[in-house]
Amino acid sequence: MTTQTSIIFQRITLIVFFIANLVAVYLLLRGHNFPGGGFIAGVATAVSIVLLSFVSGVESLSRFFRVDPIRIATVGLLIAVLAGCLPLLVGKPYLETFNWKWYDVPVIGEFYFGTPLIFDVGVYLVVVGVLVKIVFTLMTSTFNLAEVMRKEASLYASPLEEPIEEHPVVGSDIFDKEAAAAAENRQRAQGAGESKTPPETGMKTTEAPAPEPPRAEDKPDSEKP
Amino acid sequence: MGRRVHLLAMPVPVISCALIAWTLGQHEAGTQVYLEVWSWVPSLGLDMVLLVDGLSLFFGLVVSGMGVLIFWYAGAYLDDHYAEHNRFYSYLLLFMGAMLGTAFGGNLLFLFIFWELTGISSFLLIGFLYGTKEGQSGSRMALLTTVFTGLVLMAGVALLGLQVGSWHMRDILAADLGAMDAGMAAGLLLLFAIGAFGKSAQAPFHFWLPNAMSAPTPVSAYLHSATMVKLGVFLSARMFPVFVEHELWAPVLAGVGFTTLLIGSVFAFFSHKLKAILAYTTVAMLGLFIGFYGIALTTGARFDFMHILNHTAYKGALFMVVGIIDHATHQKYITQVGGLWRRMPLLGFITIVCAASMAGIPLTSGFISKEYLLTELYRFYESPVGLPGWLPLVFSVVAFAFMAAVGIRLVWHIFFRPETKEVAEHFHHPGLMIHLPPLVLAVATLTFGIFPALFGPLLQGLATPGLQQALDPEYTFKLWHGINAEFLTSMAILALSLPIFGAAQALGWRWDGIPRYLMLDLAFEKGVYALPKGAARVSQLLRAESPLDYIPLIAVTLSVFTGGYLLLHLETLHLAEAVAALPDTFYKQHLFVATLITLASFGIVLARRWTTQLIFLSTVGFLITVYFVLYQAPDLALTQILIETATLILILLILDRFPRSIQRGQRTMKRSGARKALNIGVSCAVGGTMFLLTYGAILRKEEDYIGQFFLDNTVDLAKGSNAVNTILVDFRGFDTLLEIAVLLIAILGAMGLIMRYRRNPAELEEAEFAAGGFSMRGHSEKEEK
Amino acid sequence: MFLVSALLVGILFAVSTYLILQGSFVRILFGFILIANAANLVLLSMTGDPRGRAAPVVLDETVPMADPLPQALILTAIVIGFAVAAYFVFLLYRIFLDWKTDDALALFAKKKPTDL
**CA distance, residue B177 to nearest chain A CA (Å):** 44
**Is pLDDT above 50 for A211?**
no
Beta-bridge partner residues of B51: B34
Orientation angle between helical segments B365-382 and B345-359, nearest 10 degrees: 10
**CB-based contact C76 B658, cutoff 8 Å:** no
For C110, name the nearest residue in chain A, comparing CA atoms only.
A171
Query: Hey, is the C-beta of C103 within 8 angstroms of any chain B C-beta?
Result: yes
Residues of A in contact with C74 (CB under 8 A): none
Contacts with A168 from chain C: Cβ below 8 Å = 113, 116
Contact residues, B window 697-726, toward A, CB-based 8 Å cutoff: 718-722, 724-726
Contact B730 A116 (CB under 8 A): yes
Contact B591, B606 (CB under 8 A): no
Neighbours of B55 (CB within 10 A): 25
If you average pLDDT over residues B633-653, what whole number do you get? 89
Touching chains, A (3+ CB pairs < 8 A):
B, C
Residue B307 near residue B372, CB atoms below 8 Å: yes
Domain membership of residue B388 (yes or no) is yes
Percent of chain C with pLDDT over 90: 31
Q: What pLDDT, on the 0 to 100 scale, is given for residue B322? A: 92
Least confident of A97-106, B360-369, C49-58: A97-106
* pLDDT one-digit tens code per residue, B655-677: 877 766 666 665 555 677 888 89
Instruction: Give pLDDT, residue B617.
Output: 94
Top-ranked range on mean pLDDT: pick from A59-63, A219-223, C78-82? C78-82
B156, B192 Cβ separation under 8 angstroms = yes
pLDDT band at A160; cut points 50, 70, 90: low
Query: Is the minimum CB–CB distance between A167 and chain C shorter than 8 Å?
Result: yes
Which of A94-108, B120-134, B271-285 comes out lowest in average pLDDT?
Answer: A94-108
- Confidence band (pLDDT; 50, 70, 90) for B58? very high
Task: Tell me the per-residue pLDDT of C30-40, one tens digit each, with 9 for 90 and over.
Answer: 999 999 999 99
Angstrom distance (rounded) from CA B238 to CA B466 = 9
A130 in contact with chain C, both atoms CB, cutoff 8 A: yes
Residue B366 placed within a domain: yes
What pLDDT is recorded for position A179?
52
Q: Which of B649, B719, B754 sits opposite A99 (nearest CB)?
A: B719
List of chain B residues whose C-beta atoms are within 8 Å of the C-beta of residue C22? 668, 679
Task: Return the residue in B766, B782, B783 with the most chain A beta carbons within 10 A, the one to mutate for interface testing.
Answer: B766
**Chain-centroid distance, C-alpha B487:** 44
B-C interface: how many C-beta pairs under 8 angstroms? 280
Asked if residue B401 is part of any domain, the answer here is: yes
How many folded domains does chain B comprise?
A: 2
> Residues of B250-269 as b/e, b for ≥16 C-beta within 10 angstroms?
bebbbbbbbbbbbbbbbbbb
- Residue B605 C-alpha, separation from nearest chain C C-alpha, in angstroms: 7
Is the per-residue pLDDT at B143 higher than 50? yes
φ/ψ (deg, to 5) at B107 = -135, 130
Residue A190: per-residue pLDDT: 58
Which B-chain residues 503-562 have CB contacts (< 8 A) with chain C? 546-548, 551-552, 555
Chain C: touching chains (3 or more CB pairs < 8 Å): A, B
Q: Which residues of A touch B653 (CB under 8 A)?
A: 135, 138-139, 142
Q: Give SS3 for B39.
A: strand
CB of B729 within 8 Å of a chain A CB? The answer is yes
3-state secondary structure of B763: helix
Nearest to B49 by CA among B107, B94, B108, B124: B107
Rounded mean pLDDT of chain A?
Answer: 70
| Touching A: C residues 41-70, CB under 8 Å | 55, 57
Query: With 90 as the cut, is the pLDDT of residue A216 above it?
Result: no
Q: Which of B462-476, B543-557, B653-667 has the lowest mean pLDDT?
A: B653-667
How would CATH label the architecture of C2-115? Orthogonal Bundle (1.10)
Q: What band does A181 get if pLDDT is binned at 50, 70 and 90?
A: low
Q: Which of B510, B537, B565 is the last residue of a domain?
A: B510
Whether residue B42 is preceded by a cis peptide bond, meaning omega within 30 degrees of 0, is no
B window 725-754, beta carbon within 8 A of C: 727-728, 732, 735-736, 739, 742-743, 746-747, 749-751, 753-754
Span of A154-168, B52-66, B288-302 with lowest mean pLDDT: A154-168
Distance CA B222, CA A219 (A): 45
C62: three-class secondary structure by DSSP: coil
pLDDT digits (tens, 9 = 90+) for B400-438: 999 999 999 999 999 988 888 888 888 888 888 889 999
Residue of C nearest to B744 (CA): C83
Report the amino acid identity of residue A57.
G
The per-residue DSSP string of B531-598 comes to: HHHHHHHHHHHTTTT-HHHHHHHHHHHHIIIIIHHHHHTGGGG-HHHHHHTTTTT--HHHHHHHHHHH
Residue B785's domain spans which residues? 732-785
Q: Say whether residue B475 is in contact with chain C using an 8 A CB cutoff.
A: no
Task: Give the lowest-confidence range in B65-74, B556-565, B760-769.
Answer: B760-769
Cβ atoms < 10 Å from Cβ of B10: 17
- What is Dmax (Cα atoms) for chain B? 110
Work out the pLDDT band at B231, boundaries 50, 70, 90.
Answer: very high
Whether residue B200 has pLDDT greater than 70: yes
> Is there a contact between C116 and A210 if contact means CB atoms under 8 Å apart?
yes
Give the model's pLDDT for residue A171: 41
Residue B400: the pLDDT is 93
pLDDT, position B316: 92
Predicted complex: ipTM over 0.85:
yes
Domain contains B56: yes
Q: How far is CA A110 from CA A101, A105, B146, B718, C59, in A?
A: 7, 6, 67, 18, 16
Confidence of residue B538 (pLDDT cuts 50, 70, 90): confident
Task: Specify burial of residue A106 (Cβ count, 10 A radius: 0-12, 13-18, 19+).
Answer: exposed
Q: What is the mean pLDDT of residues B525-551?
A: 83
CB B163 within 8 A of CB B175: yes
Please tell me the distance from the alpha carbon of residue B685 to that of residue C14, in angstroms, as a whole number. 8
pLDDT of residue B775: 40
What average pLDDT does range B93-104 have in this prediction? Answer: 94
> What pLDDT is stored for residue B702 in this prediction?
64
According to DSSP, the β-strands at A109-114 and B46-52 are unpaired
Whether A210 contacts chain C with CB within 8 A: yes
Q: Is C28 on the interface with B (CB under 8 A)?
A: no
For the ranges A152-161, A194-203, B28-37, which has the lowest average pLDDT?
A: A194-203
Going by pLDDT thresholds of 50, 70 and 90, the confidence category of residue B758 is low
Q: Name the more confident of B71 and B703.
A: B71
pLDDT in tens, B4-35: 888 888 999 999 999 999 999 888 888 888 98
User: How many Å lie between the alpha carbon of A88 and the closest alpha carbon of chain B?
Assistant: 14
Q: Has residue A150 got a pLDDT over 80?
A: no
Decide if C83 and B746 are in contact by the 8 Å CB cutoff.
yes
- Element housing A100 (H / E): strand A99-105
pLDDT above 90 covers what percent of chain A?
10
User: Which 3 state secondary structure label does DSSP give B493?
Assistant: helix
In the predicted structure, residue B616 carries a pLDDT above the cut 70: yes
CA distance B88 to B214: 14
Find all residues with CB under 8 Å of B686, minimum gap 6, and list them.
B555, B558, B559, C13, C14, C17
Comparing CA positions, the residue from B290, B129, B114, B281 lying closest to residue B209 is B281
Average pLDDT, chain B: 86
Q: Do B127 and B94 form a contact (C-beta atoms < 8 A)?
A: no
Contact C113 A183 (CB under 8 A): no
Across the interface, whether the CB atoms of A215 and C114 are under 8 A apart is answered yes
Residue B491 corresponds to which amino acid? M
On whether residue B38 sits in a domain, the answer given is yes
Q: Kindly tell me if the per-residue pLDDT of B210 is higher than 90.
A: no
Residue A193: is its pLDDT beyond 60?
Answer: no
Chain A residues with beta carbon closer than 8 angstroms to that of B721: 32-34
Q: Identify the top-confidence range among A17-21, B512-516, C93-97.
A: A17-21
Give pLDDT, residue A187.
62
Q: How far is CA B744 from CA A161, C83, C85, in A?
A: 22, 9, 14
Question: Which residues from chain C sit within 8 angstroms of residue A175, using beta carbons?
Answer: 100
- As to burial, measured by CB atoms within 10 angstroms (0-12 exposed, 13-18 middle, 19+ buried), residue A110 is exposed
* pLDDT at site A1: 43
- The stretches of chain C forming alpha helices (DSSP H) are 2-20, 25-45, 68-99, 104-109
Q: What is the mean pLDDT of residues B729-755?
A: 86
DSSP secondary structure code for residue B472 in this structure:
P
Q: Return residues 64-103 of A near C (CB < 8 Å).
A: none
CB distance A135–B649 less than 8 Å?
yes
Interface contact flag, C113 A172, Cβ < 8 Å: no
Subunits with 3+ Cβ pairs within 8 Å of B are: A, C
- Give the separation between CA B91 and CA B138, rounded to whole angstroms: 17
Q: CA B285, CA B501: separation in Å to the nearest integer?
A: 20
In a domain, B499, yes or no: yes
